[in-house]
Structure 1
Amino acid sequence: MTLPGREAAAGQTAPGHGGKPAVGEAVIDRAFRLLNSFDSEHRVLSLADLARRTGIPRSSTLRLARKLTEAGALERLDDGDFVIGLRLLEVASLAPRGHGLRAVAMPYMEDLFHVTQQHVLLAVRDGDDALLVERLSAHGATPVRFRVGGRMPLSATGVGLVLLAHAPAEAQERALRGFAPKDEMNLMEWDSAAELRRTLAEVRRGGFAVERETGGTLSTVAAPVRNADGVVAALSVVMPSSELAPGTYVTAVRTSARAISRQLGAGTRTS
């Protein structure tokens, strides 16, 4: 789930004159903007950092941070800096599309991991991103930049392509309008929106995605995970392109994805 005020994180100034919060902005929105200041590269933030990254005055930032600390959403270190609190992890564990899905999928992901000895990823769609719910990685697997809780553009990974192929039409059109042309920062690249559109059609028709990273270093095989209402997640294996054996990996990934889908009630809808 995209937290309110996500666009104000990473140092962007919140709406309002002179960098001050907009008049009438709800306290909860400001609190979420404060929480959104943290990311994988900014796990520990000082009060000054929080004020700067949210655009909220320092005195108000301190009051919010204290309240969030009292609630367990933040923790304060001995030196006065702040980190995310365990209460957020406790609450997040109740999310059915996060840990709930992970709990069902984990036994099958572990089987797939033991068979392939590669990276095994489970992701869901959240708006225009793929959100990584779980990752299992072999000790000797090629390093990747995916992290649990991390976001990826839907058109940039195998799991993203599967999720995008089964997303509502409006989500697909947004991706097609803003598709990333060839860029070394993206795993999957497209020369045109038409090429991406054809790929999405092939994913829907075949029931899986097989894609190569730019430069051919890594490849991914992904398949959809369903419940009674449709596609809710995507499962994939990421491996060195030199080890890609499409027939073997496609069978293994699709078999695991179908097993998870059965546990989630795929095919049981009666209306």
Structure 2
Amino acid sequence: MRTTGRNDQGDQDGLTATRLTALLSAFRPGDDALGVSELARRTGLAKSTVHRLSAHLVGTGLFERHGTGLRLGLKLFEIGQLAAGRRGLVEAARPYLADLREATRNTVHLAVLEGTEVVYLDILRGPDAPLLPSRVGGRFPAHATGVGKAINAHSPESVVAQVINNGLARVSARTITAPGLLRRQLAKIRADGIAFEREESGVGVVCAASPLLDATGAVVAALSISGWANRMHTSRVAPAVRTAALTLSRTL
């Protein structure tokens, strides 16, 4: 009986955590305040559940009331600032990203791998680059990005297997969806130290990326340059990306 009670409590705690996460994740770029009805629609939760959980989030500072709606609270910003390791990586990489953008006038990214997706830690948008869907804190399928392939190429087999087993979803007409083809690309990337993405994440967009390695040789992140396929020659910018990645890796 006691074991069953603990299991039931664990299930309830997990459900509550999932619902709280859904509420916090319901906000999108450009959102300010959202009403209870919109939060319920986006999360699939009942309005009564949204009312109850949002009151808890307001009490902890994770939500703030704004008129008749709710918005993300400053407590979330404070928590984000505690991610010192990632913040240090962003600060160390920023000069290199700025140099790459200045030299190419294209958009540069710094990203890490989380599960089967990349998370963008920093983005410097170039004046001559296309408007990309990427955003700081945003996610994208790793197999469809240059940074994702650069990281996976230097990751343990278990990490690559997780990406493949999750299903190689088609993001654009040129996304690699065949496991064998992806593995062959990763082997070449591992040998060359540079990854290319040719309209695999979006029509008309190409990318060159390179991994960042720590002192033990483990991959920690990747940086990239993205631009228009008819303007940016990936083979020309690849050496600059590779050089920046190698130099930054030495500082890590």
Whether TM exceeds 0.5 here: the answer is yes
CA contact (8 A) 1:208 1:222 kept: yes
Tell me if structure 1 keeps the 8 A contact 2:214–2:250. yes
2:164 maps to amino acid: L
Could you tell me whether the CA contact under 8 Å between 1:156 and 1:187 is conserved in 2? no
Q: How many residues align?
A: 241
Q: Is 1:61–2:47 an aligned residue pair?
A: no
| CA deviation profile, 1:202-251 (whole Å, cap 9, x unmatched) | 11111111221058622100000122241100100001122333443111
Worse-matched range after superposition: 56-65 or 227-236:
56-65
SS at match of 1:243: coil
Q: Percent identity?
A: 34
Query: Structure 2: which 5+ runs fail to align?
Result: 1-10
The within-5 A match list for 1:143-222 is 143-180=131-168, 183=170, 185-186=171-172, 189-190=175-176, 192-214=178-200, 217-222=204-209
Q: If each structure's helix is expressed as a fraction of its own residues, which one has the higher value?
A: 2
Q: Distance in 1 between matches of 2:21 and 2:234?
A: 43
C-alpha change, 1:88 and 1:200, in structure 2 (3 Å) is same
Q: Which deviates further from its counterpart, 199-208 or 30-39?
A: 30-39
Q: Is the Cα contact below 8 Å between 1:157 and 1:188 reproduced in 2? A: no
1:85 aligns with 2:66: no
Q: How much does 1:34 deviate?
A: 2.1
* 2:36 counterpart letter in structure 1: L
Per-residue CA deviation, residues 79-111 of structure 1 (Å, 9 max, x unaligned), is x11121222122112214532311111111111
Q: Structure 1 unaligned runs (5+)?
A: 1-21, 265-271
Match of 1:9 in 2: none
User: CA offset at residue 53 of structure 1?
Assistant: 4.0
- Contact 1:176/1:197 (8 A) holds in 2: no
- Cα displacement (A) at 1:42: 5.7
Matches of 1:137 and 1:153, distance apart in 2: 20
Give the aligned CA root-mean-square deviation in angstroms.
2.6
Indicate the larger mover: 196-205 or 226-235.
226-235
Are the equivalent residues in 1 in contact too, given 2:33–2:66 (CA < 8 A)?
A: no
- The alpha-carbon deviation at position 32 of structure 1 amounts to 2.5
TM-score, normalising length: structure 2? 0.84
Does the aligned pair in 2 maintain the 1:123–1:234 contact within 8 Å?
yes
Tell me the distance in 2 between the aligned counterparts of 1:137 and 1:175. 28
* Matched letter for residue 212 of structure 2: V
The secondary structure found in structure 1 opposite 2:57 is: helix
C-alpha displacement of 1:196: 0.8
Shift of 1:51: 3.6
Query: Which structure 2 residues correspond to residues 31-46 of structure 1 after superposition, within 5 A?
Result: 31-40=20-29, 44-46=33-35
* Residue type at the aligned position of 1:156: A
Distance 1:213 1:76, change over 3 A: same
**CA 241–205 in structure 1, closer or farther in 2 if over 3 Å, else same:** same
Shift of the alpha carbon at 1:52? 4.3
> Cα gap change, 1:97/1:199 in structure 2, threshold over 3 Å: closer, same or farther?
farther
Amino acid of the structure 1 residue aligned with 2:83: A
Q: TM-score, normalised by structure 1?
A: 0.78
Q: Contact 1:125 / 1:131 at 8 angstroms: preserved in 2? A: yes
Distance 2:12 2:52 in 1: 18
Following TM superposition, by how much is the alpha carbon of 1:134 offset from its aligned partner in structure 2, in angstroms? 0.8
Question: What letter is aligned with 2:142?
Answer: L
Q: Secondary structure at the match of 2:230?
A: helix
